[in-house]
Homo-oligomer: A and B are copies of this chain.
Amino acid sequence: MPFCLLSCPQRSLFLFQQSKRKNGHSALPIDLLKDEQFLLKDRIDPFGCVAEELKLVERTLARSLHSQEEKLTEVASHLIEGGGKRVRPMITLLSFKLLGGVKVQDAVDIATAIELIHTATLLHDDIIDGAETRRGRDSAYKKFGLKNSLITGDFLFIKGFEFAGKFDETVVQWTADACTQLTEGEILQGFFNRNIAVTIPDYLEIVTRKTASLFQTGARVGAYLAGASPSLIEVMSQYGLNLGIAFQIIDDVLDVIGHERLLGKPTGMDLRDGNPSLPIILALNEGHRAVEEAFVGSRPSEEKIQAAIQAIAKSTAIEQAKALSRKYSDKAFNLLEKLPPSIYRNGLRTMVQLVVERQT
């Protein structure tokens, strides 16, 4: 988790703010956050900016996994405690704090909901893909089987909605819409499975629904719960959307050129599963036969997979994919110009950079 490795010179300042809140005082008014001392030109550890809130999310996640049936808790814990990056909760919390949110428990609850829903989709995705590894160890599907993974996925969806359902109709609707988009994205991805007709607009449609929708909802709800104006909520919504697309493109790139040990799973999974990743689409557009053979074959041999990976790596696909990711990440970065400067804004900007530069 590279986020933890960054320095955070503002930690003490941040903790000073935090401690005031813990004593029941109201949060710093947003005007105060405009103070020059918060205008940081350098990177800031986004994890450190909301460390206390993230601890609360971890505690809330752990509590929500408790079930009368130990198996549910065991399967859910396997994934939740298995080293997720918590990118979605972090975006939610940073957005909330940037917009001057006061009731931290609100942000913690919705950040928890979003992570639970995300984890539910991972469990179900692994069943669909027959994935054997996830986050460096056996997938829940491999370790606990189809039945336990499927039911635990349902359990986590339910727990996620239990948290989201505590809020007003707007939050419920946005969360439900994001979840509907997740399922629609999965179906659309299935439609283009091993299908060379897939185009870049199709790809962007898939990743917008399947990945970016939850990033978008986290950033949007965080701002909404902070009491931000509709226009600022929309800015944060667009930030989340663009960051989410950039995030998924880098995921696809790492599936080709990443380090298996860092990723915690083998590379080439998109080719094995026939998922239309951006580098695959770009290499197909360049007419690389080896990529086409591995992508369209129903059970491509390991030899063909490796040949396709080599072909993609040697093509301009990775370069092009990174450039497209950069386009979306730049947009996310620049959108934050419209928000008042603060450590949280710096944290969200650093998030953008980390997402683009990440190795895992």
Contact = CB atoms under 8 A, between A and B. Distances in A.
B151 A124 contact: yes
A180 B158 CA distance: 7
Contacts of A159: 176, 180
Contact of A176 (B121, B162, B176): B162
A150 interface: yes
Interface string A147-186: 1101111110111011011100100110110011011101
Chain copies in complex: 2
A106 to B, nearest CB: 13
A340 interface: no
A169 B165 contact: yes
Given A127-B150, A150-B150, A157 B157 contact: yes
A190 to B, nearest CB: 6
A67 B187 CA distance: 11
B151 A67 contact: no
Contacts of A124: 150-151, 154
B158 A183 contact: yes
A151 B148 CA distance: 16
A127 B148 contact: no
Interface stretch (A68-76, A220-228, A288-296): A68-76
A146 interface: yes
Contacts of A169: 165-166
B157 A154 contact: yes
B165 A146 contact: no
A184 B146 contact: no
Interface string A271-301: 0000000000000000000000000000000
15 contacts: A69-B188, A72-B184, A127-B146, A128-B147, A147-B190, A148-B190, A154-B154, A154-B183, A158-B161, A158-B176, A158-B180, A159-B180, A161-B161, A162-B180, A166-B169
Closest 7 CB pairs of A and B: A165-B172, A162-B176, A161-B161, A69-B187, A158-B179, A155-B183, A69-B184
Given A72-B187, A162-B176, 20 more contacts: A67-B180, A69-B183, A71-B190, A71-B191, A72-B183, A72-B184, A127-B150, A128-B151, A151-B187, A153-B154, A154-B154, A154-B179, A154-B183, A158-B183, A161-B164, A161-B172, A161-B176, A162-B172, A166-B169, A166-B172
